């Protein structure tokens, strides 16, 4: 499995760190960087520029690059009595990286967490959720990509193209991740933040009642062949504004801050299987 959770997309987490005394993401006076980390785990391994790697357990430096070997992560699917599907991703081996400069800052993105499974998981997911099959009325597909790699995803309702299927709850955060705790301790020392302050920080996110959230269930096709099942969490509303180090910042809310090491996303099981079947039929 491959996962990327883009915590730099959260102005809520940035504000929490700023209030604690961290110069996030960059202090012009000292030139010191304190980026909010991306939590990344890749079953194929990863090669990135040395300067972008914030923390890894196992890494080999080659010239200007950091080469990270294969990493392991899990994803569990649990169905509740009321027909909700609880998706539980868990990074077992992972690294932390800096996002780097992008033309569209992550605070304006819709999608900020993505999980990819090998396509071999597709049939197993369908058979596991067989009993929740319903009518696929109101489901549509959209696609992204080019040059032989196309992602087709499903969405429910004409107004949810940017979201996918409805999400009823989620929780993601950097508590309980050993590398993240080490990174924060190092940055606390660099920023002159007392270490005991770390235990009061809330660096997890969960859905608020008013958060407009969705899960894009998709399939990636490479050269006409299905290779991955993708699950992408997006939030688009409400807007949130914070006072950054160098002026006001406005972006999309990622939910309310919480202190938790529990990772989950909750959807209707019937929506999930219908979305899977809808994208599976796109190319026959």
pLDDT at 134: 77
Q: What does the pLDDT profile of the chain (284 residues) look like in tens digits?
A: 999 999 999 999 999 999 999 999 999 999 899 999 999 999 999 999 999 999 999 999 999 999 999 999 999 999 999 999 999 999 999 999 999 778 899 999 999 999 999 999 999 999 999 999 877 789 999 999 878 899 999 999 999 999 999 999 999 999 999 999 999 999 999 999 999 999 999 999 999 999 999 999 999 999 889 999 999 999 999 999 999 999 999 999 999 999 999 999 999 999 999 999 999 998 76
pLDDT at 227: 96
d(CA 57, CA 247): 36
Which candidate, 63, 86, 69, 90, places its Cα nearest to that of 1? 90
d(CA 254, CA 271): 22
Would you tell me how many other CB atoms lie within 10 Å of the CB of residue 166? Answer: 17
pLDDT at 260: 94
DSSP state of 179: H
Q: Are 217 and 233 in contact (CB under 8 A)?
A: no
This prediction has a pTM of: 0.96
Sequence-separated (6 or more) residues with CB below 8 Å from residue 56: 66, 68, 95, 96, 179
pLDDT at 284: 65
d(CA 86, CA 169): 9
pLDDT at 103: 87
Q: Are 95 and 59 in contact (CB under 8 A)?
A: yes
């Amino acid at each position: 499995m491959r996962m990327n959770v883009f915590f730099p997309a959260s102005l809520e987490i940035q504000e929490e760190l700023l209030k604690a005394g961290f110069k996030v993401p960059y202090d012009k006076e000292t030139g010191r960087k304190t980026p909010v980390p991306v939590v990344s785990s890749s079953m194929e391994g990863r090669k990135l520029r040395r300067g972008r790697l914030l923390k890894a357990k196992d890494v080999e430096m080659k010239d200007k690059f950091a080469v990270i070997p294969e990493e392991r992560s899990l994803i569990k699917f649990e169905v509740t009595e009321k027909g909700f599907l609880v998706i539980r991703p868990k990074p077992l081996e992972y690294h932390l990286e800096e996002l780097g400069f992008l033309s569209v800052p992550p605070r304006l993105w819709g999608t900020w967490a993505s999980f990819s499974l090998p396509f071999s998981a597709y049939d197993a997911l369908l058979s596991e959720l067989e009993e929740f099959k319903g009518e696929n009325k109101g489901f549509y597909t959209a696609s992204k990509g080019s040059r032989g790699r196309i992602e087709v995803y499903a969405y429910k309702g004409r107004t949810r193209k940017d979201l996918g299927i409805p999400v009823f709850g989620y929780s993601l955060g950097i508590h309980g991740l050993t590398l993240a705790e080490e990174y924060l301790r190092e940055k606390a020392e660099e920023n002159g933040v007392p270490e005991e302050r770390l235990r009061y920080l809330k660096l997890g996110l969960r859905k608020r009642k008013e958060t407009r959230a969705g899960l894009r269930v998709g399939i990636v096709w490479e050269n006409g062949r299905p290779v991955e099942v993708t699950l992408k969490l997006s939030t688009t509303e409400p807007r949130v504004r914070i006072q950054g180090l160098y002026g006001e910042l406005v972006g999309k809310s990622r939910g309310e801050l919480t202190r938790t090491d529990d990772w989950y996303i909750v959807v209707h099981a019937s929506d999930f299987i219908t979305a899977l079947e809808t994208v599976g039929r796109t190319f026959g």
